[in-house]
A and B are shown apart, each in its own frame.
Chain A
Amino acid sequence: MSDGLRIRGLEVTFMNGQEKVRAVNSVDLCIHSGEKLGLIGETGCGKTILGMAIMRLLNPDTLIRGQITCNGTSITSISEEEMRQMRGREIAMIIQQSLTSLNPVITVGRQIAEAVELHQGLSGREARAEVIRLLSEVGIPDPEIRLDCYPHEFSGGMNERVMIAMALAGNPSFLIADEPTTGLDTTVKNRIISLLKDISHERSMLFITHDLAAAAEICDRIAVMYCGEIVECATTEDIFRAPLHPYTQGLLASMPQRGLRPIRGTGPSLAAVPPGCRFCNRCRESRDCCTTEHPELREKRKGHYVRCFLYD
């Protein structure tokens, strides 16, 4: 069964001493089978936390409410053992920062082989052959030699490919890619993007990034996150051509290609979010109601959702 990923009313709350910090607030998202959804927003807005919540990789004392289903299975209610069966096979994550995520004292081939042995039950020569196949699938030249290299012998782009190969080891139908192009130069970035397009051809993908150009290239739809909430969600074309939320408009305008006009001020801390709209202190269009009432995410046009009183 393959009906994609559904998230309903997701809330993720951390306990920071006695203080509650809600990093993700009432998120509703749906990623259809085969669809590529971009999740964009600034550092600290909760993008990675949302990805980790889907993978159930957050600390056990984190409070999680809401429903996440993947291909019909409820991720939020299955046992840890059942979840372990899903991770890697149904749903895999390409974790941020390849160099620090790889073990520096184990060869890349061995690290990928671990995933291959676990997910496909292969061992010895068969596992090695599968590692070579995966390395060549992600575009590493001379894979039969390269698999004996250590991460420090690889460039940033090559390590990113290794991370992608590990995620593919269990042949998952759903991929979460967390900032896979950050820190790479343009040439390498373009190659990683085209690789991601290739491997996600018959898969669904949640593409977490703050690189708007990369999101435009890869994604069918884009969700914009601000301070723990989705503030806008629409097709990639609508987000770039006709953004509705003032934050999305500001984000686009701050790109060097679009005039480099910054959004004034800084966002609120997640520990002290205002009662009204979370963007209102930086918004040029804010009205009285924005400081007191909290806007809901509403469908403004067909398939175009926005959380803003301007459109009520």
Chain B
Amino acid sequence: MIEISGLNKRFSRGRSESSSVQAVRDVSFSIKKGECLGVIGESGSGKTTLGKLLLRLTEPDSGSILFEGIDISALNRREMRKIRQRMQMVFQDPTASLNPCMTIGSALSEALKQRGVQDIESERLRLLEKVGLGSEFLRRYPYELSGGQTQRIVLARALAVRPVFIVADEPTSALDVSVQAQILHLMKDLQKEYGLTYLFISHDLEVIRYMSDRVAVMSEGRIIELRQTEEVFSDPQHPFTQRLISENEISERALRKFSGGTRDIPE
């Protein structure tokens, strides 16, 4: 589905060469169709830049990005726009992702027109239903929605163009745990239903563990470890990964001490 090799991106800060930052360094990997690749790393390790490069929302300095066999790093704007319908990005702050002056209904219509859908009315309702919302949301504005509802709308709008690949950049880190659980379940259901491929970026290791088939660990722009999710958690190889895992354990320490207490609640 996706195959990238030798991807590099440097951002310059100020004029001098020395103050520039190499956000992504020589990154290569592939993602299979229907797979979820998790990306973990500390703030500033290059996770978001990597996600944007894959969609060419940021232009890479060098390297190639093969998407369904086509090298998209060489495409011109028009060709890229066509292919971008098949890939979507979901951002961390859902409220900032929607136009505040536009009703939910028109935000969805805009995306559907892009795809050339004839029967926009019924397709909008179908999309809302998919993300668990009713038709009353069509007339609402983003400020009238809660964080969880907004993220559902963002997902509905992403799905409107029928993508096959979604980059999700910390999609639940602005949400409460109870809402996070709803959105993660929704994303897994949608993945199954549409056969979606995900690049899932998060600094929450527990979320990554739940969502991903494989995990890539980033540090200072490099991928330092990329393996099956359970292997990364049970037997981290790189010292940096080991540190991330042990930091995660420290933050879980108190919770583990108070284990139990969660009665079995039926699904």
Q: Chain B interface: which of A77-85, A100-108, A242-250?
A: A242-250
B180 touching A254, Cβ below 8 Å: yes
A213 touching B252, Cβ below 8 Å: yes
Q: A189 within 8 Å of B by Cβ?
A: yes
C-alpha gap A240/B252 in the complex (Å): 13
Q: A17 within 8 Å of B by Cβ?
A: no
C-alpha gap A255/B205 in the complex (Å): 12
B251 touching A250, Cβ below 8 Å: no
Which listed residue (B178, B251, B252, B266) contacts A263, Cβ 8 A? B178
Query: Which residues of B have CB within 8 Å of A293?
Result: none
Say whether chain B's binding surface is mostly helix, strand, loop, or mixed: helix
Query: Which residues of B have CB within 8 Å of A236?
Result: 254, 258
A252-B247 CB under 8 A given contacts A42-B179, A44-B146, A186-B205:
no
A188-B251 CB under 8 A given contacts A237-B258, A241-B258, A254-B178:
no
C-alpha gap A311/B265 in the complex (Å): 18
When C-beta atoms are compared, the residue in chain B nearest to A184 turns out to be B43
Q: B182 within 8 Å of A by Cβ?
A: yes
Q: Size range of the interface on B?
A: 35 or more
Which listed residue (A186, A212, A214) contacts B244, Cβ 8 A? A186
Q: A185 within 8 Å of B by Cβ?
A: yes
B185 touching A260, Cβ below 8 Å: yes
A186 touching B258, Cβ below 8 Å: no
A241 touching B177, Cβ below 8 Å: no
Query: Which residues of B have CB within 8 Å of A186?
Result: 203-205, 244, 247-248, 251
A240-B261 CB under 8 A given contacts A42-B178, A262-B182:
yes
A243-B203 CB under 8 A given contacts A42-B179, A261-B267, A263-B178:
no
A185-B42 CB under 8 A given contacts A210-B177, A251-B178, A254-B178:
yes
A-B pairs with beta carbons under 8 A, tally = 115
C-alpha gap A38/B253 in the complex (Å): 17
B177 touching A254, Cβ below 8 Å: yes
Query: Which residues of A have CB within 8 Å of B203?
Result: 185-186
Which listed residue (B250, B255, B260, B267) contacts A257, Cβ 8 A? B255
A240-B265 CB under 8 A given contacts A44-B146, A185-B43, A262-B182:
no
C-alpha gap A259/B255 in the complex (Å): 14
When C-beta atoms are compared, the residue in chain B nearest to A246 turns out to be B265
Q: B181 within 8 Å of A by Cβ?
A: yes
* Residues of chain B in range 221-265 having any CB-CB distance to chain A below 8 Å: 243-244, 247-248, 250-255, 257-263, 265
C-alpha gap A256/B82 in the complex (Å): 37
Query: Which residues of B have CB within 8 Å of A213?
Result: 251-252, 254-255
B210 touching A256, Cβ below 8 Å: yes
* Residues of chain A in range 148-178 having any CB-CB distance to chain B below 8 Å: 155-156
Q: A266 within 8 Å of B by Cβ?
A: yes
Q: How far is the CB of B31 from chain A (nearest CB, A)?
A: 22
* Residues of chain A in range 222-275 having any CB-CB distance to chain B below 8 Å: 236-237, 240-243, 249-263, 266
Q: How far is the CB of A276 from chain B (nearest CB, A)?
A: 21
B146 touching A43, Cβ below 8 Å: yes
Q: A21 within 8 Å of B by Cβ?
A: no
Q: How far is the CB of B83 from chain A (nearest CB, A)?
A: 33
Q: How far is the CB of B132 from chain A (nearest CB, A)?
A: 10
A266-B253 CB under 8 A given contacts A43-B176, A186-B203, A250-B178:
no
B261 touching A242, Cβ below 8 Å: yes
When C-beta atoms are compared, the residue in chain B nearest to A257 turns out to be B206
Q: A217 within 8 Å of B by Cβ?
A: yes
Q: B76-94 CB contact bits vs A (8 Å, 1 = yes)?
A: 0000000000000000000
Query: Which residues of B have CB within 8 Å of A259?
Result: 262
* Residues of chain A in range 254-309 having any CB-CB distance to chain B below 8 Å: 254-263, 266, 284
Query: Which residues of A have CB within 8 Å of B250?
Result: 190
Q: B193-219 CB contact bits vs A (8 Å, 1 = yes)?
A: 000000000011111011000000000
Among B182, B185, B207, B252, max chain A CB count under 10 A is at B182
B147 touching A43, Cβ below 8 Å: yes
Q: A9 within 8 Å of B by Cβ?
A: no
C-alpha gap A113/B141 in the complex (Å): 43
Q: A183 within 8 Å of B by Cβ?
A: yes
A216 touching B42, Cβ below 8 Å: no
A243-B261 CB under 8 A given contacts A261-B181, A262-B181:
yes
Which listed residue (A210, A217, A241, A256) contacts B206, Cβ 8 A? A256
Q: Which 7 A-B pairs have the closest CB atoms?
A: A240-B258, A262-B181, A256-B206, A216-B254, A254-B181, A217-B254, A262-B182
Give chain B's interface residues, CB within 8 Å of chain A: 42-44, 146-149, 173, 176-182, 184-185, 203-207, 209-210, 243-244, 247-248, 250-255, 257-263, 265-267
Question: Can you list 11 A-B pairs with a CB-CB distance of less than 8 A?
Answer: A44-B146, A184-B43, A185-B203, A188-B43, A237-B258, A252-B261, A255-B255, A256-B204, A260-B185, A260-B210, A261-B181
Give chain A's interface residues, CB within 8 Å of chain B: 42-44, 155-156, 183-190, 193, 210, 212-214, 216-217, 236-237, 240-243, 249-263, 266, 284
